[in-house]
Structure 1
Amino acid sequence: MLEYDFEQSLGFWTALTSHAYRRALDAELNRQNITIRQWEVLALLSLNGEQTQVQLAEQLGIEPPTLAGVIKRMERDGWLERTCCPEDRRKNNIRPTPKAEALWQQMVDCCRKIRAQATAGMTESEIDQYINLCQRVIKNMNFNIGFSFLNGSATASVEKEPNLQELES
């Protein structure tokens, strides 16, 4: 019999939490006709600015050809545009269009809704503690997550998401 104490496994609980959060966000985004992969691409562009397809794929943990179809559809739908990289003409820089920026707020609203669901019953202090612990684990694992931290929070063009108590008031 294969034995392991999953009750005390950080990896198990982290993976399970990530899976539950991702499934809920995917379902919410799908109601807006947005895929989670499209959201991930725009989120990385929001965090890091214009990037190449290779950079985006690396941060998503997928191969560039896998990402190519997503980018092609997003470009076709007017969400992304490619421009030739001035430093290396073999590469294309990818950036969101004004159309994507208009859709971004819908995506942020989906994220806020799922965050409120996930943190129901938690205090702001508990949420901050959870985020800090996750950041420490990432740092301990020497994992480059692809975006910078300022004062303990990821920099992006989105303000802090409200918790459930803030939404109810």
Structure 2
Amino acid sequence: MENDVLSTPGHLISLAARGFARLSEARLRPLGFGVGHLPVLVALQNGKASTQRDLARFAKIEQPPMAQMLARMERDGLIQRTPNPEDGRSSRIVLTKAAQARMPYAIETLFKGNRDAMDGFTEEEALQLVALLTRLIANLDQITSAEPSSYTS
């Protein structure tokens, strides 16, 4: 079994991530959100970011895909851009009132999806899984932080 690439943590986590993405996408679509929007929506709602550069860093994606996502989100009425008083070359990005109003439903939808996916797990097992995944992500971030990245440019 040790040589079975389909039984490695990386492959199994990838399958789980794709399953969560399909579930979330199907449940968020009626609210006008997509799974890819989540980091942007959360960052804007929590005040963790307000410029395209900050959002790209927060979401850990490159600037060009972030620009494309923000253009689609603006077209779909989820965000608004206003001039940035601190830097005339950039814009401040905020959630529209419509997006703000739908966020609590989206968050509850995601929590319900997680509860459904964890059916049959004890609370202790669910907490342990979260702790293990958090450590794994920290390890991966540490390993990849030595790599050159355009997130910080």
For the aligned pair, the TM-score class normalised by the smaller chain equals 0.7 to 0.9
Which 4+ residue blocks in structure 1 deviate beyond 6 angstroms?
A: none
Q: Within the alignment, does 1:51 sit opposite 2:53 as a pair? A: no
Measured after TM superposition, the shift of residue 130 of structure 1 is: 0.8
Contact 1:50–1:95 (8 Å) recurs in 2 = no
What count of residue pairs does the alignment treat as equivalent? 142
The two structures have a TM-score, normalised by structure 2, of: 0.76
Measured after TM superposition, the shift of residue 106 of structure 1 is: 2.0
* Counterpart residue identity of residue 45, structure 2: S
Distance in 1 separating the partners of 2:43 and 2:3: 36
Structure 2 gaps, min length 5: 143-153
Contact 1:39–1:107 (8 Å) recurs in 2 = no
Q: Secondary structure at the match of 2:86?
A: coil
RMSD: 2.5
Measured after TM superposition, the shift of residue 77 of structure 1 is: 4.0
Distance in 1 separating the partners of 2:123 and 2:11: 25
Distance in 2 separating the partners of 1:47 and 1:4: 44
* Counterpart residue identity of residue 118, structure 2: T
Aligned to 2:77: 78
Matches within 5 A, 1:1-169: 4-6=3-5, 8-143=7-142
The two structures have a TM-score, normalised by structure 1, of: 0.70
Q: Secondary structure at the match of 1:113?
A: helix
What CA deviation, in whole Å up to 9, does each residue of 1:93-132 have, x standing for no partner?
2121322110102211220221121110111111111111
Distance in 2 separating the partners of 1:73 and 1:142: 29
Sequence identity, in percent?
32
Distance in 1 separating the partners of 2:13 and 2:126: 15
* Counterpart residue identity of residue 132, structure 1: A
Q: Secondary structure at the match of 1:12?
A: helix
Q: Secondary structure at the match of 1:49?
A: coil
Measured after TM superposition, the shift of residue 63 of structure 1 is: 3.2
Distance in 1 separating the partners of 2:56 and 2:3: 33
Q: Secondary structure at the match of 2:94?
A: strand
Distance in 1 separating the partners of 2:32 and 2:76: 12
Structure 1 gaps, min length 5: 144-169
Contact 1:50–1:93 (8 Å) recurs in 2 = no
